[in-house]
Amino acid sequence: MTMEKVITLNVNGKEYTATVRTNETLLQVIREKLHLTGTKYGCGIGECSACTVILDGRTVLSCQMLAVSAAGKKILTIEGLDDGGKLHPVQEAFIDEGAVQCGFCTPGMVLTAVELLQNNSSPSSRDIKEALRGNMCRCTGYTNIENAIMLSAQRIMQEKDK
Ligand code: FES
Ligand code: FES
């Protein structure tokens, strides 16, 4: 039986209280109730990763998670990635390498790359391909996306060495 519940979600460092149906996905709530539309609805069945968000440091498919299960966890969406208006190095590198085409898959790609670089500061081409294996891009511009992730890894390392 579907019920309603009041939950608190911590998204991009901000607390949101929302009344949600117990069968409502995290993706629906992020887009339709919090109006954070950077997280995309692609397939709705866990196949494309357009709906990727970072939850307690790990990427999850928000179309496959109930909003009630995310209550009390820290959620990062693409809107929360910049640092006071300064783009994250992965975002900058996507722009510099022309890795944003129609852009529909881009938020999910960027967040997947952010998680990869948190765990592996110097990924190989194979590591990147492996990390992105679930992220579908209909424009098939994977080479530029891989180049952008390589470039952002280098820039993050250079920044740390300063
Ligand atoms: S919309 Fe979630 S995996 Fe496609
Ligand atoms: S940039 Fe178009 S689907 Fe990826």
The stretches in the chain having pLDDT less than 50 are none
pLDDT of residue 76: 98
Ligand 1 contact, 50 CB (< 6 A)? yes
Q: How remote is the CA of residue 158 from the centroid of ligand 1, in Å?
A: 34
Ligand 1 contact, 48 CB (< 6 A)? yes
pLDDT of residue 22: 97
Across-strand partners of 52?
Answer: 61
Alpha helices in the chain (DSSP H): 26-28, 67-70, 89-96, 106-119, 125-131, 142-161
pLDDT of residue 1: 76
**Orientation angle between helical segments 106-119 and 142-161, nearest 10 degrees:** 40
pLDDT of residue 2: 80
pLDDT of residue 137: 94
pLDDT of residue 124: 98
DSSP label at 42? S
Ligand 2 contact, 106 CB (< 6 A)? yes
pLDDT of residue 151: 98
The residue nearest atom 2 of ligand 2, judged by CA position, is: 102
pLDDT of residue 162: 84
pLDDT of residue 140: 82
pLDDT one-digit tens code per residue, 91-121 = 999 999 999 999 899 999 999 999 999 999 9
Please give the domain boundaries of the chain with CATH numbers for all domains. 4-80 (3.10.20.30), 89-161 (1.10.150.120)
